[in-house]
Every structure is written in C-alpha cells, then in structure tokens.
Chains A and B, each alone.
Chain A
Amino acid sequence: MTATTTTLPAARPGTWARFGRNQLAVAGGLILAAVALLAIAAPLLPLPDPNATDLPNRLAPVFSAGHLLGADHLGRDMLSRIVWGTRVSLAVGLIAAVTAAVIGSTIGIVAGFCGRWVDGVLMRAIDMLMAFPYLLLALAIVAALGPGLLNALFAISIVNIPFFARAVRGVTVGLKRRDYVAAARLSGQGNLTILTGEILPNLLPVIVITFSTTLGWMILETAGLSFLGLGAQPPQADLGSMLGEGRSLLLVAPHIALIPGLVILLVVIGINLVGDGIRDLVDPRLASGGLVRPGPATAVACDAIRQQAGNPAAPDAILSVRNLRTHFLLNEERYKAVDDVSFDLRPGECLGIVGESGSGKSVTALSLLGLVPTPPGVIVGGSIRYRGQELLGLPLPKLQELRGNRIAFIFQDPLGTLNPLMTVGEQIVETITRHQGVTHAEALTHAIGLMDRVRIPNARDRASAYPHELSGGQRQRIGIAMALANDPDIIIADEPTTALDVTIQAEVLKLLQDLRRERDTALLFITHDFGVVSELCDRVMVMYAGRIVETGTTAEVLRDPRHPYTRRLMACVPVLGQPERALDAIPGLPPAVNHLPPGCHFADRCDRVIDRCRIGSIPLEDLGPGRSSRCIRAFEP
C-alpha cells in the first residue's frame, strides 16, 4: 500500500482517510482482518487437532457439546477444520495471485516495452490462453501435474496470468509514449533503468487494481478445484475440499457443506469490498470525486420556491428571471456558481451573456430548464417565468414538454453533444416526434427540410450520416436544426461557435441571425467573445464570478462600458476567432466561487481598485433604463 500512495502525488490529504470514509470498504476490511487474524492465529488457538478423527461423534450437529460447529463424517471438529482450512485457502489464493501478478506483469511489461515481434508473440500466446475456457485449462493443468494443492495453485496462477499481462501491457504501451519516458531515454538511461525507474512505479496502480479484483476470484477457483477433488489432499482441508467432502452428505448433515461455503462467501465478499475500496482510491478517475450521475432535472431547494413572491416579471418579457441562485454542493463546500441573477428576454430579442469560463453564464442558461447536473447543482432561490408560468418547481413532465419545444438549446462542442450512435436525421426526428405527434416519415421529411434550411448540402443523404461523419460546422448546423425543429419561442445558444474555426464561425453566426429575423425567435446567446456579441446581440449582460456586473444595450455597452471587467474583456478581444489568446490577457484568475472575498469580486484583478472596493457587498447600480453596473466607480469616467 505504501508504494501506491507514494506513487500517487494526486492522493490528496489522507488516502487512508478517504478509504476510511468508504464504509463498505471498511466493513470488508474488518471481515478480512478478522478472518485473517483467526487463520494466522490458528496454531495458538485452543482448537482440537483438525485431523483427529472421532468416529462416535461423526456428523455431530452444530452447537453440540465439544463441537461448536459440529463434526464431519469422521468426527473431526468442524470449527477447527474451518479455521485451519481458511488458513490454507487464504494462503493458496494469495500465493496464486502474487505468482500470477508477478509473471503476468512481467510478460505485460516486456511485451509492451519491447513492442514489435516480442509483443506479437507474447500477446498471441496470451490470446491463446484466453481462448481456452478458463476452468478447462485449469483442469487440464491439474490433470497433467496430478492433484494436489500446490498444483492447483499453479493452475490457478497460470490461468490468471493473461489478465495481468493484458492490463499491464496496455498501460505500458501508453506510458512508453509519454514525454518523461522519452526524456529519460534521451538522457541516456538504459532500458532497465527506465523500466524500473519510470514505468514500473506508474504501473503499480493497474497491478494493484487487477490484483484486488482477481484475488477473490482466485480463491473461488481454488476452492472449485478442491471441490472437484483436484486440490487439497486429505486429511488436509481447504474450504473447497471441505465443501466437496460435505457435498455427499448434503441431505444428511447439511452443515458440513454449508459452513465452508458460507466462509468462502464471507472471505470473498471481504476481499471484494476491500478491492473495490482500493480501486476507488487508486483509480485516478474514480479518485477525483467519483462518478456521479446527473438527475433528469436540476434539484430545486424547497425554500427556493417560497422566495418567488415579489419581483414582478416585466409585462412584455417572454422570459423573466429574478434573483436566480444556483449553487454546487461538492465535498461539503458550497460553490456559488450563479448568485442573484435577474434579467428579462423579450420576443425576438437577442440577449448576450458574456464572461470568462467559470463566470456562471452557462450555468445560468442551463438553470432555466433545469439542465444543471444534480448532484452537485441545486437551484437554491429565485424565480424563472416563461410567459408568466413559474418554471422552478415545475413537475418533470411539464418541464419536458417545454424543453426542445418552446425553449430550445444549442450547445457548444457539437461532437460531444450529439449521440454518436444515432444518425443525425434520427436525432432531429426524435425532437419532432416527441413534441408534434407526427409519424416518423413526416418527421423525417421535416428534419430534412430543417437540414436544408441550415444549409447542409445534400440533406437527404446526410440525414443518415452519423455525427462523426460530419464536419464540425455541419454538426453545429445539425444542433441548430434540432433547436429549430419545433419552432421555439426561445433559443438558448451556449457558445455555439467556440469550437469552430473562423470562417465557419462566421457562417454559423450569420445563419443564427437570419433565422432569428425570419422567425422572430428570442435568442439567449452565451459567449465570452465581445466580437460575437457586437455582431448579434441587441442587449448584453456581463457576468463575473456568478454575478451580473454590467447590463445594457450592446451599442451602449460597447460605446461606454461601465465596469472595469467589461472594459478589459472588450479591450482584449479585437480578433474574431481567437478568443483564448485574448482572454489570457487579463492578469490573474477569477476568484473561487466557494471562497468569495468580501466586497468587489473583481477587486484583485482590477486596475482601478481602491480600498472601498473591498468593503461590504457591492450592489448592482442602476444607470438608467436597462443599464446597470456593479462598480462603485461606475459614474467615474
């Protein structure tokens, strides 16, 4: 274990502490520790000789005098045999696993490191071993070597070698291509040094994972061979041979077979629990918070709904957001991703939300239809009204009626956001049939029409293409077509052009502009690029660290930004299509939204900061109709 913790610099404070928090793993550890302790202490315990026969007492039932767990068909004490048998089973399983791990990993490392024909030969041999039904190979090996515990151990080890070899080879091949290995090679280190110094430590996690997942299996298999009479030889008992011996007496004295079976079960459960715990710790993917499934809709805290009163919606707005607060609850920390955001969207209007990544603009958009993943996201307060209807706390089916129908989304990164296994036509059709109740054929015709509309050439053919067969621009057009499918009132576009190159970006923007004009759809456009905003949006809203820092019509804001952050954003975005370079130009990083400083959140990066900026909370100052800024120096020139 020490090896694994040292090789994982990412193992943040207390690998053991995290293991300790995994209650199941701890339970498994306790079971295993208890069993192992009993097994190790077997010679010291006041147990009768496990092999002493006592025929008058044969088949004594459980709890009989002198035989707590009864006696077997030769009158031998079951408790004593169980303890000694567990000792044997554990030892055999452990040794077999270690043997398989050492040999298998060696093969894997050699194959992966040498590559070429060595790899080919070794891996074909491994494939051949694996093409054998597992148990039959073990049987054949035991048959060849003769029955016996040691031979069963060999057989189990050999049969398990492929698992280690394959896993280790895969990782080795990956590691070999890494920079630091190349660097070591350049610095003139020999192969052996590289293997032991650079590669082996990085292989340990995968070896440990494979070990912990196969150990239980190996104990089961050893028991299986003994059960078939090919393992432990009498009078020695391992759990499997006890089960095998007890089997013929199953009807007469069930406890003789049941107890060893239960012990095997217990031991293997213990091993698997601990193995899972170790895997969770060592697997870097799982270690970073674990895999959490997002629910169908963002959770809404109960008291959020109560706060809906007041804040009347603008009468002409199609969508009215008031005091929206969406927080992430992670590891007992509260991240205020969206805090107290209010805005209105009118029919046919395009509102841009601008900010750096992490400013809360996407979360704001996703909150509108409950698409923020829960866990960890929770909407803790505010109100979202669509045509006067409160969306927060709306039952899921009603929410689903609106999604993609009246309010549609266009997402960033069109490759990841389209289902890779469905044709794009089918994905558009799905939206249509869901909300329009038309036949599949009608929907398909409609879908092809939409694809035409977003100017995908050859729409009829392309409809049966899969996302990976299309170019990035075409995929984004599919995303747009999908959003248009049901003639929505509102389209929420979340950085729809970020992943595209400049010319295509321009085309897509033009397309959106045209469509909006044509259909009078309201557009909520999220971006970090003021260049894009200037082309498309009527009004703009700048967000920083989860809060709105400035609002106004695009023209006014561009002409006269009233927040230093806006100014900085604009100043460094002269070039369309190179947003990343531009954003890097703002020195410093946005504050962590779980530890927001008092006062202005931008203070640390602001070139106009004064002492007063760091005191109290800074309100959003009204600067006239539809114009506001969260800066105490907003009125200064």
Chain B
Amino acid sequence: MLSYALRRLAMIVPVLLGISVIVFLIMAMIPGDPALAILGSFATPENTAQLRQDLGLDRSLIEQYAVWLGNLLQGDFGRSYSLNRPVLDEVTERLGPTLLLAGASLILCTILGLAAGVVSAVRQYGWQDKALTLAVLVGLSTPSFWLGLILVLIFSVGLRWFPVSGMYAIYGGGGLTDLLHHLALPAFTLAVVATGVIARLTRSTMLEVLRQDFVRTARAKGVTERTVILRHALRNALVNIVPIIGIQTGFVLGGAVYIETVFQWPGIGRMLVTAISTRDILLVQGGVLVVAACYVLINLAADLIQHMLDPRIGT
C-alpha cells in the first residue's frame, strides 16, 4: 500500500512537468504583451521595452522556462507582474478558499449523490426513484452559472437567508458559522452537477451490486435490509464510485471558475481567469500547477481509498 502510494506519487512529477510545459506553450501563443498589459493605456515603446527586459520577456521561451523551472526547484514561483507580488503568496492565499469551496461541494455531492442513488436503486421504479431520477436529470442539465444567479436572486435578494457574495462577513466576520453561512449557496450550486453524476452512477452500480450473489447470501443470513444495503451493497458499489468522485474533482475545480465569479469567492479559479487575460504567465503557471497538483493528489487519494475499500486490488 505504502509503496504503491509512493510509486503513484512519483508518477505525478512528470505529469506536472508536462502540464507546466503545456501552460508555458499556450501562454506563449496568447496574443498581447504582458508589458503592455502592465503599463495600461500609458505604454510607450521605450518603457515597454525596458519593462520587457526587466521581466525577462526579451529572452527566448526556452530560457524563460528554464529560469522558471530552476527557481521553482528552489521554491520560488516568481513574481506576478499583474499583481505586483510573489506568485506563491497569491496562490496560497487563493488556494485555501477554492479548496474549501471544492471540498465542501465534493462532500455535499458525495452525500447527496450517494443518498439519491441508493434510494433510487432501492426504490427502483417507485415514486422516489422517479422523482430523484428527474431531479438528477435536471441537475445534470442545469448551467451552474445560471443556477447560481437564480439562487442568489431567490435566497439572498428575495429571502435574505444567505449573503450575496464573499467568504466571510465584511465586518466582524470569521468563525465557522459565518463561513458556513457564506459557503452554503456556492457549495450547493457547485455540487449540483456532480451530485447528478454520482447519483446516476450510484444508482446503476447499486442495481448491479444488488443482483450479485453475495447480497442474496447476506439476505439468507437474515441481516436487516439496512445492513444489506449499506454494509454489503453500498460498500461494494463504492469501489466503483470512489474513482469517479475523484474524477469529479476536476469538474468541480473547473466549475469553481464560474461559481467563484458569480459569488465573488476569493478563490484561485477567478484568479486564473484574470491572470490568463492579463497574460500573467508566472501567475498562470503557478496557479495551474498548484490546481493540477491538487487534482492529481485528490485522484491519488481516491485511488488509495479504493485500494483500502477493495482488498482484491493488488498493491
């Protein structure tokens, strides 16, 4: 198990390296000059050239990449020129809120998705199944950015149950209650699509597992239906569901871009959108790398959980 984890961990490095190359290449293709972006309406050829030199933009792409990589190995992510601060500072500051949002969504979509899927499977063709299937379908088909707008309209503006935006109350905020209060709407909005995916998968996997012989064995032992469903069937279904939850992380992290925009969540997704548009290469590099690393690690965690759940998979 440990050696497997370490082996998988080692495989992450080349993947991240590849990602950084891709990002660098893509960013190099983006039209527009960061020096111009910094200087804004007041750029002149002289100060632009000076700035390009200061930023090292006059060097070749390979040189730029090598310098970046060298610094990275020393823990230096470089300095964001659009924000005028170290990339690492900004990225770490932004990563927390995103992970919080994505984490809350993942937990929410896992709980809701599993619950809906299990109920749906157990009550197959019953009214609960039909209602849940319909709800899941609508959830899967909803543009999350649109849903976010509507939820704000109803729950924040109309009913005033939840705050409109941000992560903490602007004055005297802080604390878990305040955070949950702010987290509820964005986390829910972000979770809707993933909930649908997980619910569907859970339903079909549960239906498959419930047909298997060991479920009949469990029933023949006289254990209650609750034990049959949760202890026997669901646990076996989880073996197939957990990796998909891992993959959902990618969609949740992607969807966070919209949700962070709609709810003004101070996360990394929104930072990256801005960074891409201002051609802040180092910030994009740092941000994408960190997000990708999180994604890969979460998937690794999902794999390890799958390993823990299923003794049959060799380590």
A interface with B by C-beta (< 8 Å): 124, 127-128, 130-136, 139-141, 143-146, 216, 220, 223-224, 227-228, 240, 243, 247, 250-251, 254, 257-258, 261, 264-265, 268-269, 271-273, 291-294, 296-297, 366, 369, 371, 373, 396-397, 400-405, 408-409, 411, 413, 416-422, 430-431, 434-435, 466, 468-469, 479, 482
Provide the bound-state CA to CA distance between A419 and B217, in Å. 8
Q: Which residue of A140, A258, A268 is within 8 Å of B276 (Cβ)? A: A140
Q: Is B253 an interface residue (CB 8 A)?
A: yes
Q: Is B216 an interface residue (CB 8 A)?
A: yes
- B137 and A272 within 8 A (CB): yes
Q: Is B5 an interface residue (CB 8 A)?
A: no
Provide the bound-state CA to CA distance between A139 and B295, in Å. 17
Known: A140-B27, A396-B225. A216 touches B141 (CB 8 A): yes
Provide the bound-state CA to CA distance between A536 and B225, in Å. 34
Residues of B within 8 A of A396 (CB): 225
- B222 and A133 within 8 A (CB): no
Using A265-B142, A404-B221 as known contacts, list a sample of 5 further A-B pairs with CB atoms less than 8 Å apart, ordered by residue number in A: A132-B292, A139-B257, A421-B235, A434-B221, A434-B222
Q: Is B122 an interface residue (CB 8 A)?
A: yes
Provide the bound-state CA to CA distance between A50 and B284, in Å. 38
Interface core residue of A128, A131, A216, A400 (most chain B CB under 10 Å)? A131
14 contacts between A and B (CB under 8 A): A128-B19, A132-B250, A134-B251, A144-B29, A247-B149, A268-B141, A272-B137, A291-B208, A371-B216, A371-B219, A403-B220, A419-B218, A420-B312, A482-B221
- A293 and B141 within 8 A (CB): no
Provide the bound-state CA to CA distance between A421 and B232, in Å. 8
Q: Which residue of A136, A257, A293, A468 is within 8 Å of B207 (Cβ)? A: A293
Residues of A within 8 A of B140 (CB): 216, 268, 272
State the 10 A-B residue pairs at the shortest beta-carbon distance, nearest first: A135-B254, A403-B222, A261-B146, A268-B141, A404-B221, A404-B222, A134-B254, A144-B29, A291-B207, A409-B220
Distance (Å) between the CB of A388 and the closest chain B CB?
Answer: 20
- B211 and A250 within 8 A (CB): no
Q: Which residue of A139, A402, A413 is within 8 Å of B273 (Cβ)? A: A139
- B257 and A135 within 8 A (CB): yes
Q: Which residue of B121, B150, B276, B309 is within 8 Å of A139 (Cβ)? A: B276
- A141 and B143 within 8 A (CB): no
Docked complex: B1-52 residues within 8 A CB-CB of A: 15-16, 18-19, 22-23, 26-27, 29-31
- B137 and A293 within 8 A (CB): no
- B153 and A250 within 8 A (CB): yes
Provide the bound-state CA to CA distance between A38 and B206, in Å. 40
Q: Is B228 an interface residue (CB 8 A)?
A: yes
Q: Which residue of B146, B219, B296 is within 8 Å of A131 (Cβ)? A: B296
Residues of A within 8 A of B124 (CB): 292-293
- B236 and A419 within 8 A (CB): yes
Q: Is B67 an interface residue (CB 8 A)?
A: no
Residues of B within 8 A of A271 (CB): 141
Q: Is B239 an interface residue (CB 8 A)?
A: yes
Distance (Å) between the CB of A402 and the closest chain B CB?
Answer: 7
Task: List the count of A-B residue pairs having beta carbons below 8 Å apart.
Answer: 213
- A293 and B210 within 8 A (CB): yes
Q: Is B194 an interface residue (CB 8 A)?
A: no
Docked complex: B218-270 residues within 8 A CB-CB of A: 218-225, 227-228, 231-232, 235-236, 239, 250-251, 253-255, 257-258, 261, 269
Provide the bound-state CA to CA distance between A366 and B140, in Å. 40
Provide the bound-state CA to CA distance between A125 and B85, in Å. 33
- A132 and B288 within 8 A (CB): yes
Q: Is B291 an interface residue (CB 8 A)?
A: yes
B interface with A by C-beta (< 8 Å): 15-16, 18-19, 22-23, 26-27, 29-31, 121-122, 124, 137-138, 140-143, 145-146, 149-150, 153, 157, 204, 206-208, 210-225, 227-228, 231-232, 235-236, 239, 250-251, 253-255, 257-258, 261, 269, 272-273, 276-277, 284, 288, 291-292, 295-296, 309-312
Residues of A within 8 A of B269 (CB): 135-136
Residues of A within 8 A of B141 (CB): 216, 220, 265, 268-269, 271-272
- Interface majority SS on A: helix, strand, loop or mixed? helix
Provide the bound-state CA to CA distance between A371 and B222, in Å. 11
- A417 and B216 within 8 A (CB): yes
Distance (Å) between the CB of A265 and the closest chain B CB?
Answer: 6
Residues of B within 8 A of A430 (CB): 218, 221, 223, 227, 231
Interface core residue of A135, A220, A269, A373 (most chain B CB under 10 Å)? A135
Residues of B within 8 A of A220 (CB): 141, 143
Distance (Å) between the CB of A423 and the closest chain B CB?
Answer: 8
Known: A131-B292, A409-B220, A419-B236. A468 touches B312 (CB 8 A): yes
Q: Which residue of B145, B153, B207, B258 is within 8 Å of A254 (Cβ)? A: B153
- B261 and A228 within 8 A (CB): yes
Provide the bound-state CA to CA distance between A416 and B217, in Å. 9
Residues of B within 8 A of A224 (CB): 143, 145, 258
Distance (Å) between the CB of B256 and the closest chain A CB?
Answer: 8
Residues of B within 8 A of A466 (CB): 311-312
- Residue ID in chain A nearest B120 by CB atoms: A293
Interface core residue of A145, A366, A417 (most chain B CB under 10 Å)? A417
Distance (Å) between the CB of B284 and the closest chain A CB?
Answer: 7
Provide the bound-state CA to CA distance between A366 and B225, in Å. 17
- A133 and B206 within 8 A (CB): no
- Residue ID in chain A nearest B253 by CB atoms: A133
Q: Which residue of A140, A264, A404 is within 8 Å of B220 (Cβ)? A: A404
Q: Which residue of B142, B157, B311 is within 8 Å of A251 (Cβ)? A: B157
- B214 and A417 within 8 A (CB): yes
- A293 and B211 within 8 A (CB): yes
Known: A140-B23, A371-B216. A257 touches B225 (CB 8 A): no
- A416 and B214 within 8 A (CB): yes
Provide the bound-state CA to CA distance between A272 and B149, in Å. 23
- B211 and A294 within 8 A (CB): yes
